[in-house]
Every structure is written in C-alpha cells, then in structure tokens.
Structure 1
Amino acid sequence: MPRIQQVTMRNFRGAAASSDITFARKPLILIFGENGTGKSTIVDAIDLVCNEGYGTVGERSSTTRKDHLPTIGARPAQVEVQIEFDSGTWTGTLNAAGKAQISPDHLRPAVRVLRRRSLLKLTEDTPGDRYKQLQSLIDVTQVERSETQLKEAAQEVNRRLTDATTTINHVQSLLNDLWDIENRPGTSSVNWAQERTAIDENTLREHIRADQKRLKHLRRLHAAQEHHTHTTQKFQGAQQELDLLETQLRDQGQTLHVDLIHLLELTQAYLTHTQSDQCPTCQQPINLSRLKQDIQERLNDATHLNNLNTRRYAAQHNLDSARHAWTAAQTELIAAQTQAQQTTTTLQEVQDTDSRLFLNQTNLENHRAIRIALDDLSEATASAHHLERTLARLNIMQSTLRQTRLDFTQAIFDQVSAETQRLYQRIHPSEPIGLSGIQLDPNRTASLHQKASFHGHDDIAPQGFYSEAHLDTLGFCFWLAVIKHTTPGAIIVLDDVFTSVDAAHLNRIDQMLLDEATSGTLSQIIVITHYRGWLDKLRYELPEKHVDVHELGTWTLAHGISVRHVIPNTTELRTLSGAPFLDRQAVASKAGVLLEAMLDHLTLAFNLSLPRHPQNKYTLDPLLTAVTKEARTWHTTRPGYPPQPWLPTLDRLKALTFIRNEVGAHFNLTSADITDHDIREFASATLALADLILCPTCGRRTYTRTIARNTLPGTCGGTCKQTHLTPTSPTTVPTPAPAGQ
C-alpha cells in the first residue's frame, strides 16, 4: 500500500521559501510541534495535493485561497507543493484565482484528513448535515439519483394514467348521452354503441344519397305543382277579366272614336270660357247650360268606354302573359313528374322524405361519433391498463431500490457502529458509554441519526451527556471506523484531534493507533500534535520498526518550517555513550533521566511500595530500591534466547546511580574522579534495563499496566506477544514463535 515519503513545500502558507519533511516508510508517523511551528501548513499541503482541499483556509470565512494560501509576500503562481509517495509523485500549484492544479491528473492515493472541527461536526451537526459529511465516503448519489428518476417516471406515468381515466370517463359520459337520446336500448351504452357501429357506414351513405336525390325531385315536383296551379289560376283569372270587359263593351253598343272625344273636349273648353247663348256655328240660340250638361254626359260616357277599352287591352296582355307562364309551368311540371317518376306529390311526402334524410344523416354522424368514442374508449382503456401495470412496476422498482440502498447503507453503518464501539472501548475500557447505533431516517433521503449509550441508557444523544474528551474520541473512532470500511488502504492524517484527552486515555490511543497502523487495514497514519507528553512517551518507548517521529522547531519567516527526526532515548543514549569523545554530562544526565522514567513506570505499573513523599517526586535511590526488592527474581524471556534475569542489571545500577547526580545533574569537583568508563558503564546498565523492559520485536514494554505482581507472567503490550516477563526463571527455553505471529 502506498505511503507518503516526503512533503516538499515552496511559498505555501508557513513554508516560507522552501521546506520539506521526509518520512521513513513506516505505518505510524508522529509530528510534534508547539503552536506556531507549522503543523497546519503540513496538513494543508497534504490536503491540497491529495484532495484538492484548502484546509483551514477553506474553513474560515475571513480568508481567501489566493490571498492566504501563498506565504505572505508571495504570489499564487509561486506556490508549489510536492507529495512523494512510494508509488509516485504528485505536484500541486495554484492559478491566479488560488485554485489548486494537480499533476499528473491520474488517480492519487486515498488520503483522509481529520481535523478536530470535523469530529465535532459529526457529533454536533443536524442529521442532514451529518449525512452530507459521510456522503463522499459512502457515495450512493447515483442510486439516489436513480430513485429520483424512478419517482419522477412514476409521477409522469401516474399523470398519464389520470389523463387516460379522464378520457374513459368523458367517453363513457358521451356514450350515455347518445344512449339516452335513443331511450337506452340494450343492456349498456357500450353494448348499444357496439351494435350501432356494426352497421356498415356505406349502407347509411347510400340511403342518404337516395333520400337526398328523391327529396330534391319531390321538392321540384312539389314546387312545379304549386307554380302550375298558381299560373293556371292567374291564366283563368285573366281570361275571365277579359271576357267581362268585352261583354261590357258590347253592351255599350260601340266604341267612341278618339277624335270625337277630342272634339267634345275642345267644345267643353270653349263653352267653359264663353258666356254667349248662340251657337258659334249656326248662330242659333241655344240653352247653354243644357248644352254643357249634355256634352259633359257624352264625355263621361265616352271616357268610360275608353277606360273599358284600355282595360280590355291590358287584360288581353295579362292573358297573354298568363298563358305564357302557364305554358312554362306546364312544361316544368311535366319535367318534374318525369324526374320524380310520379305525376303528383304532397307537402307531407316531401316533409317525410326530409325527416328520413335528417334521421339517416344523424345516424351517420352518430355512427362516426360512436365509432370514434369506442375507439377512444378502447385505446384509453388499454393505455390505462398498461399504465397501471407500469406504475405498479415503477413503484416496486423504486421501493426495492430505496430499500436496497437503505439496507446497504445501514449495513455499512451497522458494521461501522460495531467497529466504532470496539475502538471506543479500547480508549474507554470498562466505561458504561459508547455508540449504540447509527440509523438512517427511513422517511428522509439523506438524514443520519446517531444514538449513544450512557450508564444503561442506549438511546441518548451524546452531546447532552458526554464530556468534551468523550465526544472527541467518539468522533475520532467513528471516522476511523468509516474510513477503514469505505476506504481500505487509505492514509489518515490526524490534525491535533486529541487536545482534550488526558494522559491515561492518550496512552490507549497511542497503542490503538499503532495497532491500526500495523494491522494492514490502513496504509499509514500521520498524527500531528502539540502535546509534548506524547512525544516524550514515544522517546522513552518508541517501537522504531513501526513509528517515525518528527519534531518541528521554531518558525521564522526567513527560513519557514524547521523539522528534525526524533530518535528514541535509548538510541540517543547508545550513540552518545559510544562516541570517542564522551559528553560526560549529557550521557550521565540522559541515562539518569531514562533510568528514573523506567523505574517510576515500574513502581506505578506494579504498585510497588515507596517512602511517602508530599509531592510524589522520587529520586533514583528509593525508586531503584523498590524495584530491586520486587524484581529480584524476574526474568525476561524471548523466543530462541535463554531467560535474562533482572537482578544482575539492578545490582549494577545500584552501584552506579550516584553518577547521575555527581556528573549529570550538579556541579561537583569530585566528579573529576569519575572516569569516562564509569559513565559509559552507567549508561550501559541503564540500556540493559531498557532491553529487559522493552520487546525487541515490537518495541513495547514486556508488561502492561493491567497486570499486577501476582498475575505475572506478563506479555509485551505490543502486537507480537513474543516477549514475556516471568516472576521466576523458567526451566526450559521457550520455543520460537511461528513467523508472522
């Protein structure tokens, strides 16, 4: 599995100019640094290249990438971060806007960065936000998208099914209305409609065409009859009028000539304008008054006869016109009779034919409407049945997919929950707390609930009952379990996540991290911390085979980040004591401090008796006396080696502990009498005790603080379980353990 070997930074945040840190290819890396030494810069550099993340800069609203990722005074284009894995090297740069650009662009090793803020968000966020944090690790977005698409498809099918149902109801209503018009014959409107549409439309059309033709002929015949009757009556009337006038003229005896009438009119005019009583022609006396009366009577008769004659001429003209119209009507009547193939018809016959035509036309129109309605009903019914089946299948598919997603995700969370509880119990053994379960909300798409146990109650929210340290470790164990399950082989970077944890719990975390790092589930764990006790602990007990420790020094703008590799105190003491020119004070002091730390730990681990001290501060003599008294018969056994007794080493140390004060702790003129050989002997005896205490295979102590004096033999606290601490010398040499055990 790939591991980070080197991080090189140029003009990136606190890495002014150029800074780099090289890791040994070990599963557990610890980087210690006090505040302001560049820890966050290293984490952000890894996050930038491996995840295109912007770390603490991206989490703070008052910062911008282009202004705060480059070292102060540098431009984004000057930033370069290079992460070297044993499988390849990736380089990250920034464009003008501060966006990360990573090369090469092929798949990078999986690196997960955990910050304390992330752990707190996981335990304190809402269920929806909690799910979003895990979405990138448990990615079922494609499945959720498929669920949404199935839901939308079901909604569309349901809409179409509603339309089809509406069509069915509308057509059924239309058929019922048509059925009602015909007094609801048959058993149902649909059966009636099917019977009606069984009649051939062509037959109906032939009947309509025949009715239309006959109606046309009958209407012509009827009109010709009416017109013939009318013209006959007019012709007869005109003949009668002419006959009457001719009779009247014959009765008058004659017809006055027009000239006579004119003469009488002139005479009347003359008599009207004269007063003479003599005839203008014969000069004979006349009765003027009588003459005028006679002339008037004669004029009246003449005018009457003239009017009768004029009316006779008009009557003759009317008779001629009537005869002509009657002749035309006679001709039209004969033609209509010939076309209608009958000599006469009645208005009732015309109306009956018209009604029959209207009925056939209505039947044809209804036939079409019924046929279209039946077709629509059949199509809508078939469509509705198909849509119902489709909708049922879609609902089953959506429900199945949703349940599968829930089961799949919940199975992961169940496994994660169990692993979280296992890890949590390693940090908090015998404590009545832990994660009791992680549940997806079945009624929401992306909502995650967490429940914890607290003194027998398994359904509580941890935020309301757990201390800050317990919440921190709970969040860490949960994230670690999630990453182990979802991203096996990942590299985990822990950015100062244990700030609230005390020393006792930190010892358990230290052992748990080492076990997880060496288990093969994860590729590498990189721990960033400002807790010096962790650094000192590892210096006194550092399994060099698995752990690589680095310390960050003072940061300056000119030089950026300073880093050094940290070696175990035992290694450092061996190096110092083996130098040709001995640093007497350094060797004596370091041997004394290392010896005091080992003896102090032994007295605490085995509850050894010590003289009472007000501040629980003990010097080498009482510590060594207490240990020697108890451990005189102890032996350390390793596979393939004879048992190693503790007593000779303890006796050597008892004779040499004065060197610590004389040379390593105080100014004494008498220290000049102590030779370099004596100081080297003191260091050698101290290292010999360390060899008895520490397992050469895993680097852990040959005992744990969970055992007591009466429970020996003890087994090393690491993973190899090959080195043992026994209260007496074994009679036989243990057989070497099988490889890999």
Structure 2
Amino acid sequence: MKLTIEAFRGVNQEFNLNFDTRSHLSIIYGENGSGKTTISDALEFLFNETSGSLEEKSLDGKTRILALVHARRKKQDLRVQWQDGSDTVTARIGSTKPQITGTVKGKLHTLSRKHITKLVEETPSRRFERIQDFVTLPDLEREEAELRNFATGQRRLLESQERLAQQVEVDLDSLHQRATQSDPVAPAREAWIKGILAQSSETSDEQLQIFEDLHHSITRLRDDFKPLKESYSQVALARDELVAAQNELVRLVSESTDDFAEALDTLEQAKVLFDKTSRDACPVCDTVIGHQELVAKVSGKLARLKALSAQSAKVKQAETSQRNATTAVETLQKGFFAIINQLRQVHQAAQDELEGLPGLVPSLLQSTEAAHLTAEWFQGLAAQAAQLKPLSEHVEKQRTALLQRKDQQSQLKAILSRKKDTRQEHAEISRMIEKAEQIATMLREHRIRHANETLTAISGEFARLYHSIHPGEEIENIRLYLHPTQKGAARFDGTLFGNEEMSPVACLSESHLDTLGLCLFLALQKKEDPKNTLLYLDDAIASVDEAHMERLYHLFLAEAPNFRHVIITSHYQPLRFKFRWGLLTQAKVSFIELGAWSLDQGITLAKGPNSEIKFLRRYVHEGEDAATIAAKSGLVLERLFDFLTGIYQCRLPRNPGAEQRWTLDHYKGGLQGEKKLLPALQCDHFDTEGKPIESHMLEPLLTNIFSRLQFRNAIGCHYKELAGCFNELGEAMKLGQATLGLVDAICDENDELPDSQKDGKSWTNRGTVTRRLYPLLKPLS
C-alpha cells in the first residue's frame, strides 16, 4: 500500500509513504509538527471526503476543504493518491468538495486522543453519536424516524380535525340562531335539530312545488296583464282610425260622379298635352278656352281625384291595422286564458292539499274560453286585481318559508355530515397515531435491544483488551449501554473497586481513561467488517506511561491482523527509543520515522541508515573531505552497531531516568564483551532465486573497524590536536571503506538491514530474501 500527498496542508512537494502489506501494523513516529495529522487528514480526505481534523475547528467562515490547499500551491495542484495492490484512487478538490477518481475499497476509521476523551468523558447523548455507527440499525432507525414523523404529521392533522370540529359547532350555533331569531321563544339547539330532521323532506318538496307552481302562474298572470291591456287599447284605436278614414272617403266620393279611374287617366294625358302645346281649343270638342284656364281646371280636377285615391288607400291601411290588432288581441287572449286555466288548475290542486289558501277572483273563474276575455271582461279583472293580493302574498310567504326550511335542512345535514366525518376521521387518525407509536416503540425497543446486545457482545472483548494492558486491577466490569428511555444516550459505568455503577471518569486516571477508550474503540471496530477497515490512531497513546507501553504495543501487535491495516502515529520518545534499540520487536511492524518539516518541502522521512550510507558512498568515491567521511562513517556505524547490539541484546551501560544515548565506544564494548557472539557472526548472500553467492564472517570486519575508531574520533569529533600525527584523508578513506565493507556484508542491495526473523532460523532482509544473518539468537555464555 502506498500513500502519495502533494500540495495538501503542510505537504508542498510530492511525498510518498509506503506501508508494508506483509505486516498489519505500521508505526509512524514524528515530533510535534512533523506532519502526522496531515497524513491522517489526507486519508480522511480520500476515504471519507472530509477535511479531517479541520472538521471541528472554526475557520472564521472559510471553506474547510479549500483550507487544505498548501499555502504556496493552487487548488488544482492538490492530490492525494492511495494505491492498494492494483487499485488506485485519486482525490482532488472539485468546486467545493473532494473529487474522487476510482473506487475506494474498504473504509477508514481515525481515532485521536481527542476522540478517546470524547468517547469516555462526553455526555451520554454525545457519546452515542460517537458509537452509533457501530451499534445502530440504520434501516430500523430510518423506519422508526419515518413512523415518528408520520405520527407527528398525524397529530398536526388531528389538531386540524379538532379545529374543524370546533368550527362545526360554531356553524351549528350560527345556523340555529339565524333560524330561530324570529321565534318568540327559541327552542334549544338539539331540540331544533331534531325538529328540522323530523320534517319529511318529501312533503316539504311537494308543498314547495305547489307554491312554486302558484308563484309561477301568478307571476305570468302579472307579467302578461299589461301587454293584454295595451292590446285592447290598440284595437280600439285601430277601429276609430278606420271609421274616420271611411267617413272621409264617403265625403270625397259624394263630391265626384266621374269615372274616377278613366277620368284621371284622361286628365293626366291632357295635362301632358297642354304642357307641350299652346292651343286654345279643346282637342275633343274644339271649344275655345284659354290655355291657362284650361290648365288650372285640369290641375284642380286632378287634385280632387288624387285626394280621393289617397283616402281610399288610408281606408285600406286602417282596415289592415284593425285586423292586425284584432289578431294580436286574440293571440294574447289565448295565452292569457292558458295562464288563467293553469292558475285555476294549480290553485285547485293547492286547495285540495293545503288549508287556508285564499281564493281566485270571479273574473278568473267565470271565463271558459279565450273569446270571453273581452275588453269589458278585462276591465272587470282590473277592478278585481286588488282582491288577488292576499293570494299572492300568501303564496310568496309560504314559498319563502319552505325555501328557507329546505335551505336550513340542507345546511344542517351538511354540517352534521361534516361533524360525523370529522369524528370518524378523528377516531381513524387517533388509531393510526396509536398504531404508529406502538410500532415505533417496538422498533425502538428492538433497536436498543440490538445496541445493548452488541455492546454486551463486545463487553467481554473490551474487558479482555483492557485487562491485557492493566492486569490485576480491581475493575470487575465496565459496561457501555443505551439509556432505556432517553433517546440517543449511551451510558458508561461499571463495577470498580467493588462499587457498582461507578463512573470510570471519576475513578480512573487519565492514562487509564485513554486506554479504556482505545480498547472500547478497538472492540467496536472489530464488530464492523475489520478485514476491510484501515485504522489510523493519531497520537492516541500519548498519555500512556512507559510501564504500560510494551503491553499496549503487544496488544496492537496481536490485534492488527484482524484489520486491513493499523497505522499508529506518536511523538512518544520512549516508543521510538524502544524500537531504535531493539527493545520492541519489528518482526511484524513497519516503523517509519518522520523528519523535520519545512514550508518548501513539507513532510520528510528521517534519514536512516540507507540515506546516510548513500552519502558515505559518494564522499568516499570523491575522496576530498576527511572530516565529512569520518563523520558519516561514525553515523552509519552507530546505526549498524545499534542494530547488532539490539537484536543480540548486548550489554550496554544504562543511565536510569533518561533516554539512553550511547557512543561508538559503548557499542564497541558491548560487542567485544560477547566472546561467543563475534566469532559466530556470519552473513550469507543469495541471488533472487535463492542460490548462495558468498558468505561473510563479520568478526574480521568489526575488528578492523574497532581499530580505526580512534581516527574517527580524532578527525571527525574530539581530538583535533592528534590529527597532525597521521594522514587525515588516508585514514578517513580507510575508515569509510571499512564501514562500507561491513554495510556490504550485512545489508541487501537497497542497503536495508536484515531485521526480519520470519523463518525462525536467521535474520533476513524483507521482500525477496538475499541476506541471512546468523545466528538468530546470541550464543549462551
């Protein structure tokens, strides 16, 4: 597995970090500010698409994702890449969130000491937030939430139904008040309702129909009364005009005996002739007459004849008008008689059904046909019209009352129907709410039971992990469980020092609480697909004292194979010390040390033996600077001697209470003190196919180096006044070459030490075995 980071937080230039898949545990050591949390944030950015440690920090309104970009780089430069076998996933910054290329396999869980503190010391509700991913059933929680939301919505609907029910009562009161406001003594509402509902709607409809028919007939009688009245006047007028025209025509006829038509034609022709000639004799009888006189006589005659003709036309027109008026009257009489006949029938039917109905006037009862409706009859009806008012008012009053009653019945039934529906809906909603709450309660109980069963299931594992670090302490039981009534609350107590339900926070030290939270975290993680889980513990063991460090380390060593990989970061110097001097085995662990951080470069790996060896090879090849060659030789020898004295547990002087720092002379004394070890030291070389190439005995190489250490001290360190007694560069070159000889004998092609004891027979290099260092264990004295 390989992590590549560039332009991310404190990483400027590309930084690569390899994790050996042959071991399940990697420990990253680095001082504060070296970049341990940046590595954690990079993994969080890629796996979980978050800003890692910045998530719970205030950036004064700035976007956390964009704050991940290195101060000297641009957003598009940021890159986090994870290689796991043949799978590669790359994360960059999109517009406002991570943009992932490839498919992230597995999951990442990060734990820092802050998280441990919160897990142990938080309030029950906050503690539940920390563990809910491990103990909850998302489907059940979702269904329970949906049921709770449904019940809440139904309660709001129930409140609405209750408001509707209240409005129904208000509407009933209002209708009752309007209906009884004219009553001398208003009946009670319920009595009035019963009375309204007791009335037959069919009888009311029949009576209403009778009065509707009466109202319609009376209305038609009233509407057609005026047109009929006017038609009688028009007939009389037409008759008078005809008589006048006829009288005038008789007079005109009596004044003339000529054949009017013939005379008129002749005179017309004569007029034309006289207009065109100047003769003074009559063309018929040759009677001499003055021309002008003749014209006047003809014109007078013509005027009398024209007047007679015009008057004849008027007579004819008057006759036509009289006929039209008579026809109109007859038509109106027929229609009016039909109305009268309909009224008499409706009135008779009403009298048969109803009591107290006023009667019709005689005029309306006497006529048997339309011809009887003469002008004189009409005058009699007009004189009796006032007698129809009681009937009209009675009909209108009864009709209005029946319409109001029908409307009241309709409104009342509608309101009562609404009341019934509201009650039914209220009952149905109440049943649904009760059912939903029952199911939600069952789901909650099942969910809590599952969570508690899960927590109970891990309690044994949790206790085992904790007691492996703190054996023999009087902590009988520590339990984490959900509160039985409070939603989303995780209680944390136990039996400590013989007292039940004690809070660990009140009884245990800070170191104990840290390991307590760490063990709980590991136990929970082991329940959730651990083989696909990458654990990153960021400075999670800072408060653990040295007495418990080895137990904690061996706990990690034992539990790491349960996971895809476990990564632990620490700035705890005793941990580094124990690994550096071989006090903790590295057989199944990758120990990575970070170097000093810089703004230009970012995170770096500490320069170990490999890099120092490369420098030494270059300086020896150049052969120019004696002091540098001597100094680098001493540094490489420190690493080599530290390795040998560590794996074979050579005796070295100790300074209690301080970090051990040994010189080359100390290492020399430790190796020379092992009389049986030095002759037995042997390193065999093999090719990539496992065939032996050569073998090196280390005692001669070490003896040669021991003899030259004084020159290293004189040239590279302390005794400058001795440097003039020998050839500095020559002695430095011999020391460098002797050192490289020991490197070539022990280290593999990559200048890596054989620190693996996997085969149980020898110390081998990692990967393809090309070096075998014997013996595996120090010979007994």
Is residue 337 of structure 1 aligned with residue 357 of structure 2? no
Please say if residues 110 and 491 of structure 1, whose CA atoms lie closer than 8 Å, have aligned partners that are also in contact.
Answer: yes
Q: State the 1:119 CA deviation.
A: 1.9
Please say if residues 414 and 437 of structure 1, whose CA atoms lie closer than 8 Å, have aligned partners that are also in contact.
Answer: no
- 1:203 is matched with which residue: 206, 213, 217? 206
Q: Using a 3 Å threshold, how does the CA distance of structure 1 residues 381 and 505 change in structure 2: closer, same or farther?
A: farther
Partner in structure 1 of residue 259 of structure 2: none
Please say if residues 585 and 664 of structure 1, whose CA atoms lie closer than 8 Å, have aligned partners that are also in contact.
Answer: no
- 2:482 is matched with which residue: 424, 439, 453? 439
Q: State the 1:89 CA deviation.
A: 1.4
Q: Using a 3 Å threshold, how does the CA distance of structure 1 residues 22 and 345 change in structure 2: closer, same or farther?
A: same
Deviation string, structure 1 residues 123-166 (Cα, Å, up to 9, x no partner): 33344444444456658474465245313321233024214432
| In structure 2, distance between residues paired with 1:13 and 1:379 | 68
Deviation string, structure 1 residues 164-217 (Cα, Å, up to 9, x no partner): 432553466568766996987999666544331443443021342366589999
Is residue 85 of structure 1 aligned with residue 84 of structure 2? yes
| In structure 1, distance between residues paired with 2:761 and 2:489 | 43
What is the 5 A alignment of 1:303-322? none
| In structure 2, distance between residues paired with 1:525 and 1:29 | 6
Is residue 506 of structure 1 aligned with residue 549 of structure 2? yes
Q: Quick one: which amino acid aligns to residue 156 of structure 2?
A: E
TM-score normalised to the size of structure 2? 0.52
- 2:100 is matched with which residue: 91, 99, 103? 103
Q: State the 1:517 CA deviation.
A: 2.1
Deviation string, structure 1 residues 587-624 (Cα, Å, up to 9, x no partner): 76654444447999xxxxxxxxxxxx999x9x9xxxxx
| In structure 1, distance between residues paired with 2:394 and 2:576 | 114
Residue segments in structure 2 that go unaligned for 5+ positions in a row: 224-358, 368-380, 610-632, 663-673, 682-698, 711-738, 747-756, 763-781
Q: Quick one: which amino acid aligns to residue 38 of structure 1?
A: G
Partner in structure 1 of residue 46 of structure 2: 49
- The number of residues matched between the two structures is 499
| In structure 2, distance between residues paired with 1:30 and 1:490 | 17
| In structure 1, distance between residues paired with 2:219 and 2:706 | 141
Secondary structure of 1:450 counterpart: strand
Please say if residues 112 and 491 of structure 1, whose CA atoms lie closer than 8 Å, have aligned partners that are also in contact.
Answer: yes
Is residue 29 of structure 1 aligned with residue 26 of structure 2? yes
Please say if residues 175 and 408 of structure 2, whose CA atoms lie closer than 8 Å, have aligned partners that are also in contact.
Answer: no
Q: State the 1:24 CA deviation.
A: 1.1
What is the 5 A alignment of 1:161-176? 161-170=161-170, 173=173
Please say if residues 175 and 189 of structure 1, whose CA atoms lie closer than 8 Å, have aligned partners that are also in contact.
Answer: no
Please say if residues 517 and 524 of structure 1, whose CA atoms lie closer than 8 Å, have aligned partners that are also in contact.
Answer: yes
Please say if residues 217 and 340 of structure 1, whose CA atoms lie closer than 8 Å, have aligned partners that are also in contact.
Answer: no
Please say if residues 128 and 447 of structure 1, whose CA atoms lie closer than 8 Å, have aligned partners that are also in contact.
Answer: yes
| In structure 2, distance between residues paired with 1:441 and 1:59 | 30
Partner in structure 2 of residue 61 of structure 1: 58
Please say if residues 11 and 78 of structure 1, whose CA atoms lie closer than 8 Å, have aligned partners that are also in contact.
Answer: yes
Q: State the 1:372 CA deviation.
A: 3.1
- 1:477 is matched with which residue: 505, 509, 519? 519
Please say if residues 217 and 339 of structure 1, whose CA atoms lie closer than 8 Å, have aligned partners that are also in contact.
Answer: no
Is residue 370 of structure 1 aligned with residue 366 of structure 2? no
Q: State the 1:6 CA deviation.
A: 0.4
Q: Quick one: which amino acid aligns to residue 552 of structure 1?
A: L
Secondary structure of 2:118 counterpart: helix
| In structure 2, distance between residues paired with 1:536 and 1:416 | 37
Please say if residues 12 and 72 of structure 2, whose CA atoms lie closer than 8 Å, have aligned partners that are also in contact.
Answer: no
| In structure 2, distance between residues paired with 1:165 and 1:557 | 73
Partner in structure 2 of residue 465 of structure 1: 507
Is residue 116 of structure 1 aligned with residue 85 of structure 2? no
| In structure 2, distance between residues paired with 1:18 and 1:614 | 40
Secondary structure of 1:385 counterpart: helix
Partner in structure 2 of residue 425 of structure 1: 467
- 1:528 is matched with which residue: 569, 578, 596? 569
Secondary structure of 1:358 counterpart: helix
Q: Quick one: which amino acid aligns to residue 435 of structure 1?
A: I
- 1:125 is matched with which residue: 114, 122, 127? 122
Please say if residues 27 and 517 of structure 1, whose CA atoms lie closer than 8 Å, have aligned partners that are also in contact.
Answer: yes
Partner in structure 2 of residue 386 of structure 1: 425
Q: State the 1:585 CA deviation.
A: 8.5
- 21-30 or 336-345, which deviates more: 336-345
Secondary structure of 2:14 counterpart: strand
Q: State the 1:84 CA deviation.
A: 1.2
Partner in structure 1 of residue 321 of structure 2: none
Partner in structure 1 of residue 11 of structure 2: 15
Please say if residues 490 and 523 of structure 1, whose CA atoms lie closer than 8 Å, have aligned partners that are also in contact.
Answer: yes
Q: Using a 3 Å threshold, how does the CA distance of structure 1 residues 450 and 588 change in structure 2: closer, same or farther?
A: closer
Please say if residues 110 and 490 of structure 1, whose CA atoms lie closer than 8 Å, have aligned partners that are also in contact.
Answer: yes
Q: Using a 3 Å threshold, how does the CA distance of structure 1 residues 598 and 472 change in structure 2: closer, same or farther?
A: farther
Q: State the 1:429 CA deviation.
A: 3.4
What is the 5 A alignment of 1:559-638? 559-563=601-605, 590-596=643-649
Q: Using a 3 Å threshold, how does the CA distance of structure 1 residues 55 and 590 change in structure 2: closer, same or farther?
A: same
Secondary structure of 1:362 counterpart: helix
Deviation string, structure 1 residues 412-451 (Cα, Å, up to 9, x no partner): 254236525433333333434463233247344x444433
Q: Using a 3 Å threshold, how does the CA distance of structure 1 residues 365 and 586 change in structure 2: closer, same or farther?
A: closer
Partner in structure 2 of residue 156 of structure 1: 156
Q: Using a 3 Å threshold, how does the CA distance of structure 1 residues 469 and 529 change in structure 2: closer, same or farther?
A: same
Partner in structure 2 of residue 551 of structure 1: 593
| In structure 2, distance between residues paired with 1:654 and 1:125 | 57
Please say if residues 12 and 71 of structure 1, whose CA atoms lie closer than 8 Å, have aligned partners that are also in contact.
Answer: yes
Q: Using a 3 Å threshold, how does the CA distance of structure 1 residues 458 and 175 change in structure 2: closer, same or farther?
A: farther
| In structure 2, distance between residues paired with 1:369 and 1:614 | 103
Q: State the 1:507 CA deviation.
A: 2.8
| In structure 1, distance between residues paired with 2:360 and 2:41 | 113
Q: Quick one: which amino acid aligns to residue 6 of structure 2?
A: R
Please say if residues 84 and 90 of structure 1, whose CA atoms lie closer than 8 Å, have aligned partners that are also in contact.
Answer: yes
Secondary structure of 2:7 counterpart: strand
Deviation string, structure 1 residues 547-591 (Cα, Å, up to 9, x no partner): 322222334445443337999xxxxxxxxxxxxx9x998776654
Residue segments in structure 1 that go unaligned for 5+ positions in a row: 221-333, 568-580, 601-612, 620-649, 670-675, 684-693, 700-741
Q: State the 1:462 CA deviation.
A: 3.6
Question: How much is the aligned-residue C-alpha RMSD, in angstroms?
Answer: 5.3
| In structure 1, distance between residues paired with 2:651 and 2:676 | 15
| In structure 2, distance between residues paired with 1:553 and 1:185 | 96
Secondary structure of 2:3 counterpart: strand
Q: Quick one: which amino acid aligns to residue 205 of structure 1?
A: L
| In structure 2, distance between residues paired with 1:592 and 1:526 | 27
| In structure 1, distance between residues paired with 2:108 and 2:639 | 41
| In structure 1, distance between residues paired with 2:458 and 2:422 | 53
